[in-house]
């Protein structure tokens, strides 16, 4: 029997999970365990490159785990864990910092973008963030990394670091590939449909959260930006707002874009917004209800993240020990 390839992916608990998080990532994660050996993490260490309220970070981390499970990511067939619970992430990150070149890190687009937005907190962690991401991936000998275009550059850097390390010490790391799932959607902001839907845009009303109430979802879609025309057609370049609504409806109802266009031919934008809102409400209803139920069961969630950390550490520590041996560290005494 052919061995399954390994997938690693994670999301920061720096804000709430969105409709974009679900349709673009989590929905696909739930489908991948039949084909791949999947490690899904909550990357709380990455989150602190921007200042976090400690209480809120703990609450969001636990809530995110509940939402992972509510989205259909089975904790038995997948390894679900919190990044900071596996010390090997920080340990390998330091080693990889010593094999990542300053020039490579300084060229990272995300560092430049985040630095421009956070001029009062341009910290070293923000600069070396890609080395920690490389450690996340390489610890599990991941074959594939399902990330969006905004993280593709970091995967390329991970490959460069791994190739450099292997060139010195032999075949220590698998060289990972950026992975685009067969099914997925790039969901855009409802108020600024040329930008990706982001948890950072909650205040502006362009974002739908997985735990939003049905009323809040409908209100957000009624306020969604469209255009001054009336035709409901999919044309991203000229009609980004309408196209975004069509794509959301298409993914939520499993209808093709052309079928959606035919369904709404001759109707107004008001009808489109209402129908899309209703479809999203019904898509998210079972996720919201199950997530809220799980968030009340702290003992269950604790059992999941403890078991997940133990499973993840078995693989991570094997890789870390190999790396330590290759670079010449004396094995630590067993306490």
Give the residue numbers marked as catalytic: 114, 196, 199
Per the CB < 8 A criterion, the answer to whether 168 and 328 are in contact is: no
Q: What are residue 36's DSSP bridge partners?
A: 5
Per the CB < 8 A criterion, the answer to whether 18 and 208 are in contact is: yes
Q: Which two tokens stand for residue 236?
A: 């991203």
In angstroms, the CA 129 to CA 251 distance is 32
State the CB neighbour count (10 A cutoff) for residue 187: 23
Q: Which two tokens stand for residue 107?
A: 């060229």
Q: What are residue 6's DSSP bridge partners?
A: 37
Alpha helices of the chain — where are they, by DSSP H?
19-21, 27-32, 44-47, 54-70, 88-97, 102-106, 109-117, 124-139, 149-169, 214-222, 240-253, 257-263, 269-295, 298-327
Per the CB < 8 A criterion, the answer to whether 157 and 134 are in contact is: yes
Q: Which two tokens stand for residue 2?
A: 């052919």
Query: Terminus-to-terminus CA distance in the chain, angstroms?
Result: 39
Nearest to 193 by CA among 232, 244, 257: 244
In angstroms, the CA 23 to CA 182 distance is 12
Nearest to 161 by CA among 187, 189, 133, 182: 133
Main-chain dihedrals φ then ψ at residue 188, nearest 5 degrees? -100, 165
Q: Which two tokens stand for residue 51?
A: 């200042």
Q: Which two tokens stand for residue 3?
A: 């061995």
Q: Which two tokens stand for residue 127?
A: 């600069």
């Amino acid at each position: 029997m052919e061995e399954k390839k390994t997938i690693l992916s994670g999301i920061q608990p720096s804000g709430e999970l969105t409709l974009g998080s679900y349709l673009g990532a989590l929905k696909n994660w739930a489908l991948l365990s039949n084909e791949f050996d999947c490690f899904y993490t909550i990357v709380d260490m990455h989150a602190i490159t921007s200042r976090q309220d400690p209480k809120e970070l703990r609450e969001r981390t636990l809530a995110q785990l509940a939402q992972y499970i509510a989205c259909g990511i089975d904790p038995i067939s997948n390894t679900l864990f919190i990044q900071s619970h596996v010390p090997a992430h920080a340990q390998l990150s330091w080693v990889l910092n010593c094999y990542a070149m300053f020039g490579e890190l300084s060229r990272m687009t995300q560092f430049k973008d985040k630095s421009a937005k956070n001029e009062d907190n341009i910290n070293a962690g923000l600069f070396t963030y890609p080395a920690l991401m490389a450690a996340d991936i390489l610890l599990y000998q991941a074959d594939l990394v399902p990330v969006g275009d905004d993280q593709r550059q970091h995967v390329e850097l991970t490959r460069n670091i791994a190739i450099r390390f292997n060139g010195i010490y032999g075949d220590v790391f698998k060289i990972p590939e950026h992975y685009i799932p067969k099914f997925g959607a790039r969901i855009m902001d409802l108020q600024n449909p040329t930008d990706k839907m982001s948890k950072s845009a909650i205040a502006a009303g362009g974002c739908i959260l997985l735990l939003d109430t049905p009323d809040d979802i409908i209100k957000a879609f009624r306020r969604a930006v469209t255009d001054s025309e009336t035709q409901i057609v999919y044309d991203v370049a000229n009609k980004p707002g309408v196209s975004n609504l069509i794509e959301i409806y298409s993914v939520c109802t499993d209808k093709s874009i052309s079928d959606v266009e035919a369904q709404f031919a001759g109707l107004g934008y008001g009808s489109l917004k209402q129908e899309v809102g209703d479809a999203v409400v019904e898509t998210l209803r079972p996720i919201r209800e199950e997530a809220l139920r799980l968030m009340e069961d702290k003992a269950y969630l604790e059992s999941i993240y403890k078991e997940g950390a133990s499973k993840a550490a078995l693989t991570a520590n094997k890789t870390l020990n190999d790396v330590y041996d290759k670079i010449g560290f004396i094995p630590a005494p067993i306490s």
